[in-house]
Structure 1
Amino acid sequence: MKRLLIVAHAPSANTRRLRDAARRGAGHPDIEGVEVVVKAPLEAGPEDVLACDAILLGTTENLGYMSGALKDFFDRSYYPLLEETQGLPCALYIRAGHDGTGTRRAVEGIVTGLRWKWVQEPLICRGEFKTEFMTQCEELGLSMAASLEAGII
């Protein structure tokens, strides 16, 4: 059984809806060979990443940057993971009230340093909340889990 880890900062009802949509997609009933583990960034650590086969990150845009909680996760995990998780398949979704580009750049910089492998372009849910954001996050979770199960990533 492969493991997909979702580390998502979800401080509001809408961001919890996005996290839950990603989990719902990843846990699609047709996907039987992937265990989905969901953790908040302040609860996740290097041991969780070492135990997974792919990671999906979720964050809010905070002052043009990632959430402090996701930054804390990276601060605690970066060096323990640096030489251990190179090539780890990863993806990202951002709940951005503005444009999300600063948040994207910040996460991409850390992921580049870790030498993780992007499996798709980051999903940026911009502007006022729309229900289509949930559909996009569900599709992202489904895509990651299905690709992991099939051995594509």
Structure 2
Amino acid sequence: MAESKKLLIIAHAPSENTQKMLEAVINGASNPDVKNVEVRSLTPLETQPNDINSANAIILGTTENLGYMAGLMKDVFDRCYYPCQEKTEGLPFAFYVRAGHDGTGTRRAIESITMGLRWRLVQDPLICRGDFQAAFIDRCEELGLAMAASLEAGII
């Protein structure tokens, strides 16, 4: 049997709606049809460099705060950037943003930092804009499933 691959989800989910989005990502990634992927979810404060260094793929989730990623998500990058820089080059990742406005600044910031890490964005960012919609939950679940299934299949 093949060794399980590790999908790490790092998400800032401060509200009921963002918690629902995170749970949907986890549910999608934990789909019973995906057998060889170990899914682990951490808050930004729990995340340590070793968690990132041992992952085979990552999903990041954040709110848009003042046109930028949440401060706690930025803290992950501040603490983990250099300890992970050379060890995670090419790491496949995806991200989602709960954006009250347009999410442009948040997207730009995440893409800039991860470009410096030389991570590989493997699907278009999921930017959930405006008032909360039930469709955000479905899209988050699809994101989790797509990442886990692609990781298991060796596509990413």
User: What TM-score bracket applies, with the shorter chain setting the length?
Assistant: over 0.9
Give matches, 1:102-141, under 5 Å.
102-141=105-144
What is the SS of the residue equivalent to 1:61? strand
Residue identity opposite 2:7 in structure 1: L
TM-score by length of structure 2 reads 0.97
Q: Match for residue 28 of structure 1?
A: 31
**Equivalent residues, number:** 153
Query: What is the CA distance between 1:55 and its match in structure 2?
Result: 0.2
Residue identity opposite 1:135 in structure 2: D
Moved >2 Å (runs of 4+): none
Query: What is the CA distance between 1:45 and its match in structure 2?
Result: 1.3
Unpaired stretches in structure 1, ≥5 consecutive residues = none
C-alpha RMSD of matched pairs (Å) = 0.4
Query: What is the CA distance between 1:51 and its match in structure 2?
Result: 1.1
Query: What is the CA distance between 1:131 and its match in structure 2?
Result: 0.5
Q: Match for residue 66 of structure 2?
A: 63
Post-superposition Cα deviations, 1:76-116, rounded to whole Å, max 9, x if no partner, equal 00000111100000000000000000000000000000000
Query: What is the CA distance between 1:4 and its match in structure 2?
Result: 0.2
- The one of 39, 44, 52 equivalent to 2:42 is 39
TM-score by length of structure 1 reads 0.99
CA distance in 1, matches of 2:28, 2:56: 17
